[in-house]
Amino acid sequence: MPVDRAIADILAGMMLDFQTCYRALQNRDPRYDGQFFTGVTSTGIFCRPVCPAVRPKPENCRFFPSAAAAMAAGFRPCLRCRPESAPHSPAWNGVKTTVSRALKLIEQGALEQHSVGRLAQRLGVGERYLRRLFATHVGASPAAVDRSRRVLLAKKLITDSTRPMADIAYAAGFRSIRQFNDTFRKLYGRPPTALRTAHLGGRGSKSAPPCQPTPDRESASRGPL
């Protein structure tokens, strides 16, 4: 099944058609916060329905049932409405028991040290079947869900805490400082320290040290995912 069709089917199952989503976006309706995300094709950014930014034209909108699905489609998180702060998507609630269990395990870090195949074994299903379930019910692969979890958790810790960047990298499940820095540069176009500086408006954050590898932990890293 094509990805766009699969995502449309997921949204339809949630009683969210294009008109409903766009109307919620126009009204910045908080009732829909976390229920879907809007990918804006003209900017490459995805947002929450309550985003304060100028509303995009309907022809520039794509709607997704989860942040993971939006990121898997190539959109990067908005720095204004901060998708990492959205409530968990109801698209993940009430789906098949296997998917619910898998999502819970991923949230607990099951893919930080093990493969999707190992996760499938824990759930008592085949890997291909698990991937198919995720495509049908989540709109993103298990690996894509895990990537979005790590990125959005790290982003929240960067802006909402004063923890050192190295601690944030490992707390969010990144396997190395290099992977952490490279991921943020690729996704946000800037290193993690710059995101914290921008969030603080530059007050008292310009002297923050760059994120440097910790020798003992970096040497133990198994490299990028």
From the candidates 21, 47, 61, 211, give the one annotated as an active-site residue: 47
For the chain, percent of residues with pLDDT exceeding 90: 52
142-160 and 192-199 helices, crossing angle to 10°? 50
The larger pLDDT score, comparing residue 39 to residue 113, is at 39
Model confidence band, residue 23 (pLDDT cutoffs 50, 70, 90)? very high
- pLDDT grade for 30, boundaries at 50, 70 and 90: very high
Query: d(Cα 33, Cα 39) in Å, to the nearest integer?
Result: 14
Q: How confident is the model at residue 162 (pLDDT cuts 50, 70, 90)?
A: very high
* pLDDT at residue 208 tops 80: no
Q: Considering 21, 61, 78, 211, which one is annotated as catalytic? A: 78
State CA 41 to chain mean position distance. 17
Q: Using an 8 Å Cβ cutoff, are 154 and 192 in contact?
A: yes
21 labelled catalytic: no
The CATH number that domain 3-85 falls under is: 3.40.10.10
Top CATH class of 92-143 equals mainly alpha
Q: Would you state the pLDDT for residue 219?
A: 38
Helical ranges in 53-190 per DSSP H: 67-72, 97-107, 110-113, 116-123, 127-137, 142-160, 165-171, 177-188
Active site residue 61: no
| pLDDT, tens digit (0-9, with 9 covering 90-100), for 88-104 | 655 455 556 888 889 88
Q: What is the pLDDT of residue 59?
A: 96
Distances (CA, A) of 89 to 138, 185, 213: 10, 26, 34
Domain boundary assignment for the chain? 3-85, 92-143, 161-219
CA separation for the pair 190, 9 (Å, rounded): 35
Q: What are the b/e assignments for 159-187, b being 16+ CB within 10 Å?
A: beeeeebbebbbebbbbbbbbbbebbeee
Catalytic residue among 21, 61, 81, 211: 81
Q: Is 47 a catalytic residue?
A: yes
Q: Is it the case that residue 47 has pLDDT exceeding 80?
A: yes
Instruction: Please determine whether the domains at 3-85 and 92-143 fall in the same fold group of CATH.
Output: no
Residue of higher predicted confidence among 110 and 90: 110
Between the alpha carbon of residue 206 and those of residues 160, 193, 198, 203, the distances in Å are 17, 9, 10, 7
Annotated active-site residue 81? The verdict is yes
